[in-house]
Chain A
Amino acid sequence: MPFTNTKIRIVTAAALFDGHDAAINIMRRILQAKGAEIIHLGHNRSVHEIVECAIEEDANAIAITSYQGGHLEFFKYMKDLLDESGCGHIKIFGGGGGTILPAEIEELQQYGITRIYSPDDGRMMGLEGMIEDVINKAGQASPTLQGGILESAERMPFPLGEVYDIRLIARAITLAEQVENYSHLVDRLKANASKPLKSEIPRSTGGGASDAVAILGITGTGGAGKSSVTDEIVRRFLNSYSDKTIAVISVDPSKKKTGGALLGDRIRMNAISSSRAYMRSLATRQSDFALSKYVQDAIDICKAAGYDFIIVESAGVGQSDASILDYVDVSMYVMTPEYGAPSQLEKINMLDYADVICINKFDKAGALDALHDVRKQYKRNHELWEAKDDELPVVGTIAAQFNDAGINELFERLMETVAKKTGVNFNGEIEHHAHLKDTTDNSTIIPPRRVRYLSEIAETISGYNTWAEEQAAIATKLYQLGGVIKMLDEK
């Protein structure tokens, strides 16, 4: 059933204060192989985080493993929070090996948890059987798409203290993906957006939908750390502008063979749980594309809802892809110093078009060479022969490093570019200053000259062993000679 319009979407995670993620990792792989779209959150996730994710992602179900006890409270609280949020239609599945006793399974299922699987279930149904059971039951969950959510929206306040109605946003995007009409939801969102934000968040610029929205596109090679960079930008945005809201639309590829997808960006996002932030993961639902067909819809819906800043993150596909440019005001290309020979840079389309280029993982060997090469390429592409190096929008960053000076510079550059290109000025003037020096100097746990330490140790030990053999061989000869000399002397 690859690439159908309706997909089962499931949020997977391990419970709060629980690092046991082996089982859920196996489950999520099989779920994906069976064609589901998986939003995987990893280990140690609170009920609030999981429920917020499930609502924002318009998931059919949540699948949780819990091995650290406290499962009765955990699962019941999750059910309560979903119900309170008007999202009782989202099914809950769980498992915890032998730590969840049969009587407790009974109690949880009575309470409204769809199914808790026991080790005996595992033996009788097999892994595949369990997963099929999850998918069947999750599929039944799909409520009447039109009525249900709008009805809860009428009855119940915005869930989880979020500043906009994330239920409607999420459902509108789902309808778009299913090629169904969602205008009634947008009308409702627009009506909400014209109201002031919740009292504790005063709007400084009058607010209102879509008149002052900027859209940033982030693209780059797979493994360059796009999500980490995005998370760091979201964090700085939320910290810098306490009255602004932000939405992230993140695209990951669907698998051609199964139609399933692993929507893995959310796991790295620490800043997204803010009530002023929304995130939606989209699968491409077509192969060999970096973006979903419904990105424009998702952007429009977020605009209508009233978000001030929207980030679109594309799946990392190939060097020639620049499709994100069609949707955004400002674009950024994320890469690492590990691209091979400088001639490779000539093939990267985004180096022609990106407003800002981020060289992440700047602690890697050859980072300064990369900065030099990329700048040179940028000058060539833009015919900026006279430009000074540090005026070029090429920034080295280490997103993995807390409060990285490079990311600070990157953020300032981006806000500056947004202001310049769109006229959207979130909060006064943003200046940028070069932080390059700080970034490289403070960043390393193991100094680059010591990075081969394990090889050196291996060499030292092998060297010792060889030496020991050689010395022993000499000692043997001495022993033999000594013996012969003794025999001759005795004669």
Chain B
Amino acid sequence: MQTDELKKKYDELKMQLHPDVWQLMEQWSGLLKEYESDFFEFDVRGKKIKQDLVYRSLSGTRISKVYLPKYKDWGDILKWQLQENVPGEFPFTAGVFPLKREGEDPTRMFAGEGSPERTNRRFHYVSVGQPAKRLSTAFDSVTLYGEDPAPRPDIYGKVGNSGVSIATVDDAKKLYSGFDLCDAKTSVSMTINGPAPMLLAFFMNAAIDQQCEKYIIENGLSEAVNKAIESKWDIESLPKYTGEDGKKINPVKGNFDGHLPGGNNGLGLRLLGLSGRDVLPAEVYKKIKAHALATVRGTVQADILKEDQAQNTCIFSTEFALKLMGDVQEYFIKNKVQNFYSVSISGYHIAEAGANPITQLSFTLANGFTYVEYYLSRGMHIDDFAPNLSFFFSNGMDPEYSVIGRVARKIWAKAMKYKYKANERSQKLKYHIQTSGRSLHAQEIDFNDIRTTLQALYAIYDNCSSLHTNAYDEAITTPTEESVRRAMAIQLIINRELGTAKNENPNQGAFLIEELTDLVEAAVLAEFERLSERGGVLGAMERMYQRNKIQEESLYYETLKHTGEYPIIGVNTFLNKKGSPTILPSEVIRSTTAEKDNQIEAVTLFQQRHKDRAADMLQRLQQVAVSNGNLFEELMETVQYCTLGQITNALYNVGGKYRRNM
């Protein structure tokens, strides 16, 4: 009698549960079992993957990669499933994949100095013996602002400093020569924003021409192609490659005479100065191009919103810059460029400019949603572009950094699923994270590695998709081989030696982490409301809201650092006997005069070689802009005849220069 009433009540209550929720609850015991096994099987884009789920310590203890809560109360279990869940399941708080990828350390190889040849040597040097070639490229400031190297002193001094000088498609071919850009194990990241569409077009053309070279060799066409080239071009007029010994060689015939760096097989250089379409039948070229675009893997930063908010490498009016980004994304969809991130939505520079972690996260996610809204307004489908978006965060010492990835993932997933009705792939936020450059100090620089280690631990515990650890001497100079090796060791030691890092969800179930996750999520939503009150991200930018907020937070940190309320060991407290003075670098790596002159000569020769076509191509490009066509599609053609500076200046006339503000 009594029981019947209770059962009735039970059924009534059950009716109030969402059917999906009931299903989740029913699946729980199965899920627990699944994770008790020694192996785990899951799908990645239609491919079955089977991975170990267990690690045994020296003592024989069985460490599972994923632990589930031992809750009994269904409410606790359900809440955990709805807000946390296992890695790889909505809302992806603990990670977007069930398990971390095996056999690939998320280590990137950074380079960017002097000429493309020098940076290429460096890339080959740092990637020797690494199965995966993950190349990160830093460009010099001339390139970052879309100009060509030139003898004018205020330009000249910056050519090839703090980054590589790239002004033409030929420079890009040299830069990545010897790396197969369409290999699944190669991925390239380019830190470029204002002129990103042009650099991306350089890169894509380099990748396509590499595949043309491979086709030529594989089909035994080398002889025929060489003859064709000799009959059509004066070989001496084609661009040169400068070897390490300073000797200039002519690589078109594939004769490198041992001038290439170790590991570089010359792929990408045989068509230097030419395009695959100059030597291959149109149909063949078209096919190769389509295949190259569909397979090439990498990331271009291209995040113009954070440039205006924090980093200042804007060159075009914000509106035009956004249009260019939209054109790139549209081109990616049309040409099925699916393994390349069209933007890396970056909080790193916002944090470096002084923002606290909550502001970093809120502004960055808000910027991400702004791109989403803009692309939607252009008629693109959410699931066509969302997988091309990636994120980039900074990791410092503050407590909120321990949850930055998990909060980002859950906010993105919820918004994508419920606000934008996006599919599961689009719900997965992937991010690269770098330890904070701002937290490195020029005093007691040995201590910097300790900070980096702790920040790396935060990041790895938080299941980042990819991580870069800074070298301890970056606060004072360009890192040396020794310091870079130590930085890399930090990641490797955590990943391979640290026992608790064998587990992939160590943060789940920690009271502190759960509390911080809720607090940071709420704080981000509150910031969204403040931005919204100001007309969204763009409206707030117009009032310089983001910029001012970042500055205020920077000043707050500096003040506390100055007064010592915010302790920094070896900087404002625990000073050594000498008072922990600022360390000066013994020498600074700068580009050589020969490198600068070579780059200027190369760009001049490029312009001379194409002087008949350049004006036409620039006019065509401007026409596409005026008629609101896809500028990136046209840029893929323009870059074969025009230099970066020529293109930038032509676009100023149709898109407007960036207008500074204060």
Contact = CB atoms under 8 A, between A and B. Distances in A.
A469 B320 CA distance: 44
Contacts of B235: none
Interface in B352-400: 353-354, 366, 369-370, 373-374, 376-377
Interface string A71-99: 11110111010000000000000000010
Given A462-B525, A472-B75, A71 B13 contact: no
Given A16-B158, A457-B369, A476 B659 contact: no
Contacts of B159: 70
Contact of B10 (A22, A48, A473, A481): A481
Contacts of A481: 6, 9-10, 13
A453 B535 CA distance: 9
Contacts of A19: 307, 311-313
Given A446-B370, A464-B414, A489-B3, A469 B79 contact: yes
Nearest to A262: B662
Interface string A427-471: 000000000000000000111001111111110111111001101
A224 to B, nearest CB: 12
B360 to A, nearest CB: 16
Interface in B100-148: 141-142, 144-145, 147
B73 A268 contact: no
Contact of B529 (A43, A120, A400, A458): A458
Interface string B74-104: 1111110011000000000000000000000
B205 interface: no
A161 interface: no
B7 interface: yes
Interface residues of A, number: 80
B74 A74 contact: no
A191 to B, nearest CB: 33
Given A400-B317, A457-B528, A485-B7, A74 B584 contact: no
B2 interface: yes
A456 B526 CA distance: 12
B75 A473 contact: yes
Interface residues of B, number: 92
B483 to A, nearest CB: 16
B551 interface: yes
B588 A101 contact: yes
B463 to A, nearest CB: 21
B79 A460 contact: no
Interface in A141-199: none
Nearest to B626: A403
A479 interface: yes
B582 A98 contact: yes
Contacts of A40: 662
B537 A454 contact: yes
Interface stretch (B16-24, B182-190, B255-263, B641-649): B16-24
A48 B261 CA distance: 40
Contacts of B156: 70, 73
User: Among the interface residues B3, B16, B153, B415, which one has the most CB atoms of the partner chain A within 10 A?
Assistant: B153
A264 interface: yes
A141 to B, nearest CB: 22
A379 B317 CA distance: 36
Interface string A1-41: 00000000000000111111110010000000000000011
A264 B152 CA distance: 28
A101 B536 CA distance: 43
Nearest to A101: B588
A64 to B, nearest CB: 11
A475 B141 contact: no
Contacts of A98: 442, 475-476, 582, 584-585
A103 B77 CA distance: 65
Contacts of B528: 454-455, 457-458
A446 B353 CA distance: 27
Contacts of B415: 457, 460-461
A73 to B, nearest CB: 3
B75 A445 contact: no
Nearest to A477: B13
Given A19-B311, A451-B535, A485 B83 contact: no
A46 interface: yes
A8 to B, nearest CB: 20
B172 interface: no
Interface in B619-662: 654-657, 659-662
A280 B476 CA distance: 40
Given A267-B662, A268-B659, A400-B659, A77 B153 contact: yes
Interface string B27-66: 0000000000000000000000000000000000000000
Interface in B494-537: 521, 525-526, 528-529, 531-532, 535-537
A296 interface: no
Contact of B77 (A15, A361, A475, A488): A475
Contact of A446 (B155, B374, B590): B374
A472 to B, nearest CB: 4
A385 interface: no
User: Among the interface residues A43, A44, A264, which one has the most CB atoms of the partner chain B within 10 A?
Assistant: A44
A401 B317 contact: yes
A339 B590 CA distance: 54
A92 to B, nearest CB: 13
Interface in A51-69: 68-69
Interface string B327-355: 00000000000000000000000000110
A163 B442 CA distance: 49
A401 B319 contact: yes
A291 B531 CA distance: 35
B626 to A, nearest CB: 9
B481 interface: no
Given A69-B162, A454-B536, A484-B6, A403 B656 contact: yes
A389 B615 CA distance: 44
A457 B317 CA distance: 27
User: Among the interface residues A40, A77, A80, A472, which one has the most CB atoms of the partner chain B within 10 A?
Assistant: A472
B659 A475 contact: no
A29 to B, nearest CB: 11
A268 B13 CA distance: 63
A268 to B, nearest CB: 5
Contacts of A42: 660-662
A452 to B, nearest CB: 6
Nearest to B591: A69
Contacts of A72: 157
A16 B155 contact: yes
Contacts of B319: 400-402, 445
A479 B319 CA distance: 55
Interface string A477-491: 111011011001100
Given A18-B141, A474-B13, A468 B79 contact: yes
A240 interface: no
Contact of A468 (B83, B320, B588): B83
A401 B321 CA distance: 12
A68 B161 contact: yes
B154 interface: yes
Interface of B: 2-3, 6-7, 9-10, 13-14, 16-18, 21, 25, 72-79, 82-83, 141-142, 144-145, 147, 152-159, 161-162, 307, 311-313, 317-320, 322, 353-354, 366, 369-370, 373-374, 376-377, 411, 414-415, 418-419, 442, 475-476, 521, 525-526, 528-529, 531-532, 535-539, 542, 551, 554, 582, 584-585, 588, 590, 654-657, 659-662
Given A478-B13, A481-B10, 4 more contacts: A17-B142, A77-B153, A228-B659, A402-B656
19 contacts: A44-B313, A47-B153, A68-B141, A74-B153, A228-B659, A364-B535, A447-B377, A451-B535, A451-B539, A452-B532, A453-B370, A457-B419, A458-B528, A460-B419, A461-B521, A468-B79, A472-B75, A475-B25, A481-B9
Chain A to chain B: the 8 pairs with minimum beta-carbon distance, closest first: A70-B157, A19-B312, A476-B75, A402-B656, A73-B157, A17-B141, A77-B153, A69-B161
